[in-house]
Chains A and B, each alone.
Chain A
């Protein structure tokens, strides 16, 4: 039986979230900026029509924005997180937990294979779409295909072409129609093909998805690696990627952010790093995972062309997989000391926990255990509880800039409509 995956995502998620509570934004060009008001991370269709692109730095679009009365907002992740949770919950009502993958804040894959005998999948998808719209006010699109890659492609078409009314089902399409659509869609739109690969493929004469599907798969796999091979097989309807559901642990945890100001010294960078580590470890422990590898990166602002540039990362392998804040923090500090160089204006740093596995699967290392470990664990639990009760800034290792969060630039943030009694939306 043909598999049926669905890809559901919120149209221009952050601007749509803002519109739920502020109807005055409806029909107007809206842009949401990243943390510290760095660059555009959500652009409404009206703003796109003015030529504002995703990830455009704020200072580059400032003029167009003021000229055309574009409404500019700082990101309000508390709000988006809360609505995202509700979005995922609604999707979860339609499938069982092992049939849903929460892929990002605004995207989810569903495995609808078992439902196609019971329901007309298009009708089912419209039911999902209408419920999300009615219950939480967010517009979504749904793509259906026999693999995740095809489902994501279908969703791209559903968004792009209004005639689908938000639901595009590739499983319903004839081979000829599918090929015609693939021939009209650029290869770079395929999930898993980055900008660089797309450029290389263009150089080889592979411009559209149809070109890619018809190309010599073995030759491409040799040149680009096994992942592209998988992508092509998925485009041909052969499942290579199953869902990563709540039951399967995450692949990696990243915590990073641009600094409020440029930093030239090691100590303040370390202080920021400690905060990132504690954020990442909190997530790690919540997932009941342990990590074996700590990645650290440090970079300057590549838009400041007058500055000398420096972008570098390094990895520290831990002696044994752990979720211990001290061990991971120590590793990250060693990493950042290695990376740091004097005489650069640093803009951003971050930490990435990798080689994750469930804590329950860890084999006890001969050198890992013992009474000391036990006390460490109790301290970790206490710290986690304190953070849960009093907020993430209550207790940290070493010297963390307590104001880190407050210092962040968010000049145009909307109210915390859903999480603060003093900022509830108003009725007239």
Chain B
């Protein structure tokens, strides 16, 4: 049992779909489309490739507002992915979950890793050797609900 996304997924196999048509199927002529039935596009499959390692959080600050990530947006991230320069990541910093851009900047002959917000009010955070900042995973999509169903 998970959130709806998970439940949606259980009935999307090509096979199940055809079986259903068969079960409730036609008594007269078989539908000419029967052989062409394909799985309809499924958001949860598109957005989540590794279900086991994917987590869904909600953005609560305006730190990434110039990246188009607004407060209230749904953030999907995959903990199995390794972050590289330029990724939007989820990190734990000072015991708080942050959403930031991960950057590597060459400084002399060493590489400085930073977490950058997309809002000038938030300063860059350097990741130092031995500090407790921990990058959990890479953000794979942002979901904005445009028409919120009434509660």
Could you tell me which A residues sit within 8 Å of B by CB distance?
A: 23-24, 26, 78, 81-82, 86, 89-90, 134-137, 418-421, 424-428
Query: Which of these, A86, A134, A136, A427, contacts B57 with CB under 8 Å?
Result: A427
Do A424 and B52 touch across chains, with their CB atoms under 8 A apart? Answer: no
Do B79 and A137 touch across chains, with their CB atoms under 8 A apart? Answer: yes
**Are A135 and B60 CB-contacts (below 8 A) given A23-B95, A428-B97?**
no
Contact size class for B?
20 to 34
Do B52 and A23 touch across chains, with their CB atoms under 8 A apart? Answer: no
Closest to B5 in A: A421
Closest to B64 in A: A427
Q: What CA separation (Å) do A89 and B2 show in the bound complex? A: 14
Do B95 and A135 touch across chains, with their CB atoms under 8 A apart? Answer: no
Complex A-B, nearest 8 residue pairs according to Cβ-Cβ distance, in ascending order: A135-B53, A426-B60, A424-B58, A427-B99, A23-B95, A428-B61, A24-B95, A89-B52
Do B90 and A419 touch across chains, with their CB atoms under 8 A apart? Answer: no
Tally of contacts, chain A with chain B, CB under 8 A: 68
Q: What CA separation (Å) do A427 and B100 show in the bound complex? A: 10
Do A134 and B58 touch across chains, with their CB atoms under 8 A apart? Answer: no
Could you tell me which B residues sit within 8 Å of A by CB distance?
A: 1-4, 50, 52-53, 55-61, 63, 74-75, 79-80, 90, 92, 95-99, 136
Q: What CA separation (Å) do A421 and B96 show in the bound complex? A: 20
**Are A26 and B95 CB-contacts (below 8 A) given A419-B2, A428-B63?**
yes
Q: How far is the CB of A8 from chain B (nearest CB, A)?
A: 15
Do B3 and A136 touch across chains, with their CB atoms under 8 A apart? Answer: no
Q: What CA separation (Å) do A228 and B1 show in the bound complex? A: 39
- 12 additional A-B residue pairs with CB within 8 Å, beyond A136-B79, A418-B56, A426-B57: A23-B92, A24-B96, A26-B95, A86-B53, A135-B50, A136-B52, A418-B2, A418-B55, A420-B3, A421-B3, A427-B58, A427-B97
Sample of 18 A–B contacts (CB below 8 Å): A23-B97, A82-B2, A86-B52, A135-B53, A135-B79, A136-B53, A419-B1, A419-B2, A421-B3, A424-B57, A426-B57, A426-B58, A426-B59, A427-B60, A427-B61, A427-B90, A428-B60, A428-B97
Query: Which of these, A26, A137, A419, A427, contacts B3 with CB under 8 Å?
Result: A419
Contacts of A82 in B (CB 8 A): 1-2
Closest to B136 in A: A137
**Are A425 and B98 CB-contacts (below 8 A) given A136-B79, A418-B3?**
no
